[in-house]
């Protein structure tokens, strides 16, 4: 687990509506900057600014979408799964939980046949 940023910094980031929209969208499935711009109704420069900000705190990660034909492009996936704020003994304590990216496609499937299918189809 990486070191958590200061309370104020993380609250600043999460108070930004654009940043939250991007997190929400990319927690469903990885999306490119263009897809994010369309879905969240913001300009691409806004998307890039927020994504950079989110990356700074490790709440989103960049992945490369491999395309047959060589036109690979970047997609972004939320890594934030839980953010909590606690107040005790005169201190605010934040805790950020991040999702572990799966080591191989279908890793989280419970059923062997589902896991096998995803692995095989993604070879």
Q: Tell me if 114 contacts another protein by CB under 8 A.
A: yes
Q: Tell me if 71 contacts another protein by CB under 8 A.
A: no
CA angle 91, 97, 103 (to 5 degrees): 160
- Distance in Å, CB of 101 to another protein, minimum: 22
Determine the Cα–Cα distance for residues 81 and 70; give it in Å rounded to an integer. Answer: 32
Region label for 78, one of left (φ > 0), alpha (ψ between -120 and 50) or beta (otherwise): beta
Q: Tell me if 82 contacts another protein by CB under 8 A.
A: no
Let me know: does 114 contact 24? Beta carbons within 8 Å.
Answer: no
* Cβ proximity to another protein, 91 vs 121, nearer residue: 121
Q: Tell me if 120 contacts another protein by CB under 8 A.
A: yes
Q: Tell me if 108 contacts another protein by CB under 8 A.
A: no
Sites of contact with another protein (CB under 8 A) = 111-114, 116-117, 120-121, 123
């Amino acid at each position: 687990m990486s070191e958590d940023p200061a309370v104020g910094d993380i609250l600043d980031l999460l108070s930004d509506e654009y940043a939250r929209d991007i997190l929400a969208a990319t927690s469903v499935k990885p999306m490119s900057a263009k897809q994010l711009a369309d879905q969240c109704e913001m300009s691409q420069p806004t998307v890039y600014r927020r994504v950079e900000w989110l990356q700074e705190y490790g709440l989103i990660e960049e992945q490369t979408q491999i395309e047959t034909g060589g036109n690979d492009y970047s997609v972004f996936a939320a890594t934030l799964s839980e953010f909590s704020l606690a107040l005790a003994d005169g201190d605010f304590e934040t805790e950020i939980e991040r999702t572990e990216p799966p080591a191989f496609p279908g890793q989280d499937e419970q059923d062997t046949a589902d896991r096998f299918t995803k692995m095989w189809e993604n070879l």
